[in-house]
Amino acid sequence: MTAPFSADAAAPILATEADAPPVVAEAAPATAQPDDATGGPRASREQDNRPRAPKRDLDGWVLLDKPTGMTSTQAVAVVKRIFGARKAGHAGTLDPLASGCLPIAFGEATKTVPYVMDGRKTYRFTVRFGIETDTDDSEGKAVVTSDHRPTDADIVAALAAFRGEVMQVPPAYSALKIGGERAYDLAREGEEVVLQPRPVTIFRIELMERPDADHAVLEAECGKGTYVRAIARDLGRMLDARGHVSALRRACVGPFLEEDLVPLDEMRDRAEAGEEALMDALDPVALALEEIPQITVTPPDAHRLRCGQSVILRGRDAPIVQGHAAITCQGALIAIGDVEAGEIFPHRVFNWGQKDKKPPRRGKR
């Protein structure tokens, strides 16, 4: 169900990285965005002048397999229109020329976006050896070249230096701010951009495939703030081969896994098949919180939490939890709070009290 990944693709990728800022605000109106994932003709849909259904309140997550050639904002607008949702946002920007996991939040799910953004992300990407560019991807201009090509053994040995907590210099073409200005804006204006190294965590990075001497397909599982383009740049320098990212796919974001992604065309087909088929692609709000502790409270405690009051956990069966936790009551998600010394302090309260209509479509990672 997921889109294929081309190991030797050379699609340019300008600003896609692990720490792109979350978008929680309501998406732009769907009328302002193209209704096609690739920008190609879809005559039957483009000529559909039927009145649109009224917007409705929906709560949950749609795990979109974003195609290349579409911005994240456009993707949100199209999915929002398909579902007729009133409020939507996404957890982590993907550049138009990258594909893969774009979690889209409806309604109350937007409150859980920060927890998704803090989770691990898995990227599969192709490094093109021989050319380093000013953007560290194939859209940029070549700044250094090399005739040297590393062996598989060279690459595997070099990857060991990237695992764990490492210091990484972000690309000059990044969304980081320097004196209130985005680094990529300064770089495009020809100014010298100097960014300081910062710590990032790469839990896993492996050589997956070697299509030819010029290309290597890697897979990395990394923490918040990691730039995949910087990995390709630094690996090329370490191997005296220079390099940049020529293709990128985000496989997983936090608890959202690649096998559960829904392509855009399938989503359209579900909408045409009927409401039941479409709603089956909507996952519960609580899916985003699977990686933090879960606490169940009584109805009276749930009422206090919804009113913004703290609750003390009592009894020998009270869970021993510290830090963030998701609080439920009778199967409904009530709040997200901090637990300190046996007391829950709510800081995100959910306004709906219905139980999730269906469990998540997959198990934990």
- SS3 for 217-248 is EEEEEECCCCCHHHHHHHHHHHCCCCEEEEEE
What pLDDT is attached to residue 51? 56
Average pLDDT over residues 235-249: 96
What pLDDT is attached to residue 94? 84
Contacts from 310-314 at CB under 8 Å and sequence distance 24+?
A: 310/343, 310/344, 310/345, 310/346, 311/343, 311/344, 312/342, 312/343, 312/344, 313/339, 313/342, 313/343, 313/344
What pLDDT is attached to residue 359? 54
What pLDDT is attached to residue 145? 97
The 3-state DSSP class for residue 350 equals coil
| pLDDT of 317 above 80 | no
Higher pLDDT, 236 or 92: 236
Percent pLDDT > 90 in the chain is: 56
Average pLDDT, the chain: 83
In whole angstroms, what is the distance from residue 222 CA to residue 236 CA?
19
| pLDDT of 242 above 90 | yes
| pLDDT of 20 above 80 | no
Beta strands in 87-170 (DSSP E): 88-90, 99-106, 121-129, 131-133, 142-145, 164-168
Higher pLDDT, 72 or 204: 204
Average pLDDT over residues 156-184: 89
Best mean pLDDT range from 179-188, 231-240, 332-341: 231-240
What pLDDT is attached to residue 358? 55
| Residue with tokens 């917007």, as numbered in its chain | 55
Tokens of 319: 């869970």
What pLDDT is attached to residue 193? 78
Tokens of 56: 């409705």
pLDDT (tens digit, 9 = 90+) per residue, 252-291? 999 999 999 999 999 999 999 999 999 999 999 999 998 8
Q: Which residues are part of the catalytic machinery?
A: 95
Higher pLDDT, 127 or 52: 127
In whole angstroms, what is the distance from residue 80 CA to residue 55 CA?
9
How buried is residue 350: exposed, middle or buried, by Cβ count under 10 Å (0-12/13-18/19+)? buried
In whole angstroms, what is the distance from residue 254 CA to residue 91 CA?
10
120-124, 173-177, 219-223, 255-259: lowest mean pLDDT where?
Answer: 173-177
* Contact by Cβ (8 Å): 91, 69: no
| pLDDT of 11 above 50 | no
What pLDDT is attached to residue 352? 61
Higher pLDDT, 3 or 90: 90
In whole angstroms, what is the distance from residue 64 CA to residue 78 CA?
11
> Containing H/E element for 305?
helix 299-306
In whole angstroms, what is the distance from residue 192 CA to residue 209 CA?
36
Average pLDDT over residues 202-226: 96
pLDDT (tens digit, 9 = 90+) per residue, 319-364? 778 888 999 998 889 999 999 888 899 989 998 655 555 555 544 4
pLDDT (tens digit, 9 = 90+) per residue, 59-114? 999 999 999 889 889 999 999 999 999 999 998 888 777 899 999 999 999 999 98
> What is the pTM assigned to this prediction?
0.79
| pLDDT of 159 above 80 | yes
Decide the pairing of beta strands 88-90 and 99-106: antiparallel
Nearest to 128 by CA among 233, 3, 4, 240: 233
pLDDT-based confidence at residue 180 (cuts at 50, 70, 90): confident
Best mean pLDDT range from 62-66, 191-195, 308-312, 318-322: 62-66
